[in-house]
Amino acid sequence: MTTDAHHQVLVVGGGSAGVSVAARLLRLGIRDVGVVEPSGTHYYQPLWTLVGGGRATAGASSRPQRSVLPKGVSWIRDRVESVDPEARTVGTADGSVIAYDRLVVCPGLQLDWNRVPGMAQAVTAPHTSSNYTYELAPKTWDLIRSMRSGTAVFTMPSGPIKCGGAPQKIAYLAADHWREQGVLKDIRVVLALPTPAMFGVPVFAGELERVAARYGIEVHRSSELVEVDPDGRTAVLVHHESGARESVRFDMMHLVPPQSAPDWLKGGPLAAPADPAGYVEIDRHTMRHVRHPEIFALGDAGSSPNSKTGAAVRRQAPVVARNVAASLAGAEPLPASYDGYSSCPITTSRHSVLLAEFDYGLRHRPTLPLVDTTRERRDLWYLKRYGLPFLYWHLMLRGRA
């Protein structure tokens, strides 16, 4: 087969994972790194929660893609649509065929708005929004600040999503704003979570129970949005265990769509044969594909069962870069291992954050010395608002942290 280009390492996706890993590969002395990324803009998605909560501007979450790609990387402004692991090539939307020696797959997750009847229409309707896109996050804040009474519904889908804490963070930011405005007593706040507990790690679940109770939030556990009527402003919630359906009429709703790996990965050679979610099937420690040793994955599109966050990507990127370099040098076994570390800074008010840090075993894994991160704290607010964005743009994307 004729190919249009060849790279020693080809990275699919120039998001948090792709840029971080490309920077690390260059630092390890690998000179020929190509990154396939269709978007001209790079986003720091964790800020979207604060945009929706009126605590940051959308513009602060975006930068030109060119400015974050490490110098020396070849940017292929295209979209990968297929992978042929036997031929060691990828096919792109423009019809190019690009060959690789090693492939790193990190195209993130796709938002499945159409999986819930009415959701795709609802999200563009006047009373509904979602922090899960750059365009809609400012609308969330518009809805929150114009609300004085009525019912506000916040939902979370089942299955892995980007930042499992984000669906409830925005509920607390909103409730705290309404408290400050003196209108919280006139607003019914409903938070529908698909899980029986408020968080997977018990020590944080307990603290979040207290936070929700402080605002008088009605938490519907094991409950999920199964239908929305945007015109009638009605959300239908189903209780997982009892099967009971409840219709809630809302005056505003924050939606989080179900998520999965991009469609082109589903059913393809990189996904596990029986996994409809389509994640790239990798070893959870080495991040190498279980059947194709020259392919690696990290970030949200990988099958490693960590919580899908940028914090996890920060720990995965050095592991993948070292293991790719080792495999190019013919070293076995691969030297670097990822332990499942992930973290989630949960905004519990407009001035406080609870920093949930944990690993594959959902064990609490604190990394800040002398700071009790099992309680919401004001100093952690500054970490979330200023410290982590600085870390991201200046250190993580440059392969320095």
CB of 161 vs ligand FAD, minimal distance in Å = 8
Query: In whole angstroms, how close is the CB of 241 to ligand FAD at the nearest point?
Result: 28
Nearest alpha carbon to residue 76 among 38, 36, 46: 36
* Residue 57 beta carbon to ligand FAD: minimum distance, rounded to whole angstroms: 15
Report which residue's Cβ sits closest to ligand FAD: 15
Residue nearer to ligand FAD on the CB measure, 108 or 118: 108
Min dist. Cβ of residue 330 to ligand FAD (A): 28
Which residues does 224 contact at the CB level (< 8 Å), separation at least 6?
155, 156, 157, 158, 192, 194, 237, 238, 240
**Residue ranges in contact with ligand FAD by CB under 6 A:** 12-18, 36-39, 45-46, 48-49, 79-80, 106-108, 131-132, 162-163, 166, 262, 299-301, 308-311, 313, 344-345
Contact, 91 vs 80, CB < 8 A? yes
Nearer to ligand FAD, 13 or 399 (CB): 13
Q: Are 325 and 25 in contact (CB under 8 A)?
A: yes
Closest of 170, 165, 163 to residue 198, by C-alpha? 165
- Minimum CB separation of residue 185 from ligand FAD in Å reads 28
Q: Of 42 and 233, which has the nearer Cβ to ligand FAD?
A: 42
Q: Which of 337, 333, 345, 329 is nearest to 377 (CA)?
A: 345
User: What are the angstrom distances between the C-alpha of 206 and each of 198, 212, 371?
Assistant: 8, 10, 18
* CB-CB contact of 351 with 381 (8 Å): yes
**Of 80 and 237, which has the nearer Cβ to ligand FAD?**
80
Pairing between β-strand 74-76 and β-strand 80-84 as defined by DSSP bridges: unpaired
Which residue type, as a one-letter code, is found at position 310?
G
Residue 107 DSSP code: -
Give the whole-angstrom CA distance, residue 232 versus residue 185: 24
**What is the Cα–Cα distance from 200 to 194, expressed in whole angstroms?**
12
Q: Which helix (H) or strand (E) holds 315?
A: helix 310-328
Q: Find, among 58, 40, 50, 111, the residue nearest to 258 by Cα.
A: 111
Q: Which is nearer to ligand FAD, 30 or 383 (CB)?
A: 383
Q: Give the nearest distance from C-beta 91 to ligand FAD in angstroms.
A: 10
Taking the complex as a whole, the smallest distance from the CB of residue 311 to ligand FAD amounts, in Å, to: 4
Q: Which is nearer to ligand FAD, 151 or 309 (CB)?
A: 309
CA distances, 288 to each of 262, 281, 282, 302, 330 (Å): 19, 8, 5, 10, 14
| Residue 233 or 340 with smaller CB distance to ligand FAD | 340
Please, what is the minimum distance in Å from the beta carbon of residue 316 to ligand FAD? 9
Torsion angle, CA of 190/196/198/202, rounded to 10 degrees?
Answer: 160
Whether the bond into 333 is cis, omega within 30 of 0: yes
Give the catalytic positions in this structure: 163, 344
Beta carbon nearer to ligand FAD, 57 or 181: 57
Whether the CB-CB separation of 73 and 34 falls below 8 Å is answered with yes
